[in-house]
C-alpha cells in the first residue's frame, strides 16, 4: 500500500494535472519504433499515438513479432530479428509488465514480477542497445529508449533489497516465496528496480548515442489493475484514461533530450525516490546490476551479454 504522503501526492497530481498528447508539429517520419506491451492499455494507446505522427515501422502494434518476456530464448530471438531485419531502430519503449497479489513463479523459475518487470525488461534493454546505437551513428542523432516505471516505486519495501534475508542476493531472496506479501508491495518493488536499472544502464551509455529514461505514467484505467479490487474501485474517480496514460509514454520516449538517466512524472523530470540517491541505494544499484548480469550469463548464454 502507498504511504500516506505518497498517496496524497498521487491524488493531487491525478486531480490537478492534465496529460497532453504530442504536439502536431512533432514528426516521426522515416523512423522505426518498438513498443513492448502494446496489445492493450497504455502501450496500445502509446503505439497508436506514435503511429499517428508518421512512423515508418511500428513493431508489435502494426507489425506483430512474437516476444515472451518469460522466455530467454524468445527474447534473444526477438533481438536477433531486430538486428537482421531492421535497417534502423530509433525508438524503444519497454512497457511490458504485470501486477499480481499472490506469489507466482515464471517458467524461468523466477518470481513473476521479477522475471517480467525486471529481468525481461533488463535483458531487452541490453539486447537492443546495439541496433539503437548503430542507428544513432548513421543518423547523427540520439536514439531513444524508455522504461515504464511508476510512482509506486516510492512505496516499495526497500528492506527487501537493502538487506535480503538469509544471506541471499537480491534476486534469490525475491524469488523465495518467504519474501512475498499478499498485496501490491512486490509490484511496487519491481518498479523501484526499474528505476535502479535505468540509472545503472544509463551510466554505461553515451547520451549522444542513446537517451535512456524512465517514467511514471500515472494511475490509469486499464485491465492492468483487474487483480486489485481496491485499485480497480479507486480508478472510477481518480484514474486517467488509458490514452492519457499513453501520452506520458510517448512524451518520455520522444521529448526531453536532457532526460538521460532521469525519472519523469507529470511529463517533466522529477526527483527519484530518496533511497536511490543514498549511499545504500548506490550500493544496492551496483549489486542489482552485478547480480542481473551474472544471472544472464548463467541462464541465457546465447544473449552473449558482456
pLDDT in tens, 153-209: 999 999 999 999 988 999 999 999 999 999 999 999 999 999 999 999 999 999 999
Q: Which pLDDT tens digit goes with each residue over 194-246?
A: 999 999 999 999 999 999 999 999 988 776 666 665 666 566 668 889 999 99
Average pLDDT over the chain, rounded to whole?
A: 92
N-to-C CA span, the chain: 38
Question: Which residue is associated with the grid cell 525488461?
Answer: 121
Distance CA 67, CA 37 (A): 10
Beta strands 210-216 and 268-270, pairing class? unpaired
Cβ neighbours, 10 Å, residue 297: 13
**Selected residue with higher pLDDT from 103 and 233:** 103
Name all domains of the chain by residue range, CATH numbers in brackets.
24-298 (3.40.50.720)
Nearest to 91 by CA among 184, 197, 211, 195: 211
Vertex 157, ends 153 and 163: CA angle to 5°? 125
Instruction: Please tell me what DSSP assigns to residue 304.
Output: -
Cell reading at 120: 525481461
- Would you place residue 61 in the very low, low, confident or very high pLDDT band (cuts 50, 70, 90)? very low
Distance CA 213, CA 253 (A): 8
Instruction: Please tell me what DSSP assigns to residue 107.
Output: T
Whole-model pTM: value is: 0.93
Look at residue 18 and tell me whether its pLDDT is greater than 90.
yes
Distance CA 66, CA 271 (A): 36
Q: What was the pLDDT predicted at 306?
A: 81
Q: Which of 58-72, 148-162, 231-245, 269-283 has the lowest mean pLDDT?
A: 231-245
**Selected residue with higher pLDDT from 7 and 128:** 128
Residue 210 dihedral angles phi and psi, to the nearest 5° = -140, 125
Q: What was the pLDDT predicted at 226?
A: 60
Vertex 228, ends 224 and 229: CA angle to 5°? 125
CA distances from 9 to 13, 19, 246, 267, 273 (A): 6, 16, 21, 15, 13
Question: Taking a C-beta distance cutoff of 8 angstroms, is the pair 239, 220 a contact?
Answer: yes
Q: Which pLDDT tens digit goes with each residue over 21-32?
A: 999 999 999 999
Distance CA 108, CA 171 (A): 13
Cβ neighbours, 10 Å, residue 85: 11
Mean pLDDT of 78-107: 95
Look at residue 65 and tell me whether its pLDDT is greater than 90.
no
**Selected residue with higher pLDDT from 306 and 91:** 91
Most confident of 9-23, 229-243, 278-292: 278-292
Look at residue 266 and tell me whether its pLDDT is greater than 80.
yes
Q: Which residues are catalytic?
A: 150, 187, 191
Amino acid at each position: 500500500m502507498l504511504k500516506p504522503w505518497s498517496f496524497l501526492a498521487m491524488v493531487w497530481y491525478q486531480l490537478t494535472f492534465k496529460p497532453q498528447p504530442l504536439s502536431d508539429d512533432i514528426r516521426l517520419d522515416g523512423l522505426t519504433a518498438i513498443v513492448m506491451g502494446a496489445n492493450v492499455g497504455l502501450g496500445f494507446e502509446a503505439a497508436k499515438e506514435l503511429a499517428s505522427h508518421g512512423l515508418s515501422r511500428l513493431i508489435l502494434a502494426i507489425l506483430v513479432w512474437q516476444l515472451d518476456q518469460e522466455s530467454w530464448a524468445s527474447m534473444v530471438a526477438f533481438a536477433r530479428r531486430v538486428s537482421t531485419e531492421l535497417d534502423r531502430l530509433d525508438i524503444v519503449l519497454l512497457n511490458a509488465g504485470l501486477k499480481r497479489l499472490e506469489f507466482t513463479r515464471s517458467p524461468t523459475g523466477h518470481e513473476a514480477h521479477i522475471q517480467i518487470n525486471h529481468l525481461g525488461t533488463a535483458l531487452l534493454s541490453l539486447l537492443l542497445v546495439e541496433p539503437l546505437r548503430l542507428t544513432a551513428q548513421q543518423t547523427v542523432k540520439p536514439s531513444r529508449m524508455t522504461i515504464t516505471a511508476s510512482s509506486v516505486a516510492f512505496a516499495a519495501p526497500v528492506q527487501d533489497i537493502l538487506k535480503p534475508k538469509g544471506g541471499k542476493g537480491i534476486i534469490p531472496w525475491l524469488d523465495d516465496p518467504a519474501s512475498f506479501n499478499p498485496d501490491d508491495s512486490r509490484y511496487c518493488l519491481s518498479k523501484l528496480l526499474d528505476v535502479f536499472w535505468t540509472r545503472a544502464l544509463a551510466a554505461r551509455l553515451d547520451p549522444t548515442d542513446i537517451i535512456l529514461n524512465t517514467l511514471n505514467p500515472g494511475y490509469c484505467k486499464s485491465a492492468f489493475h483487474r487483480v486489485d479490487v481496491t485499485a480497480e474501485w479507486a480508478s472510477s474517480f481518480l484514474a486517467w484514461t488509458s490514452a492519457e496514460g499513453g501520452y506520458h509514454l510517448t512524451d518520455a520516449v520522444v521529448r526531453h533530450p536532457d532526460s538521460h538517466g532521469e525519472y519523469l512524472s507529470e511529463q517533466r523530470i522529477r526527483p527519484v525516490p530518496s533511497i536511490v540517491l543514498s549511499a545504500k541505494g548506490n550500493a544496492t544499484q551496483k549489486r542489482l546490476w552485478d547480480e542481473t548480469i551474472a544471472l544472464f550469463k548463467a541462464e541465457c548464454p546465447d544473449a552473449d551479454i558482456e
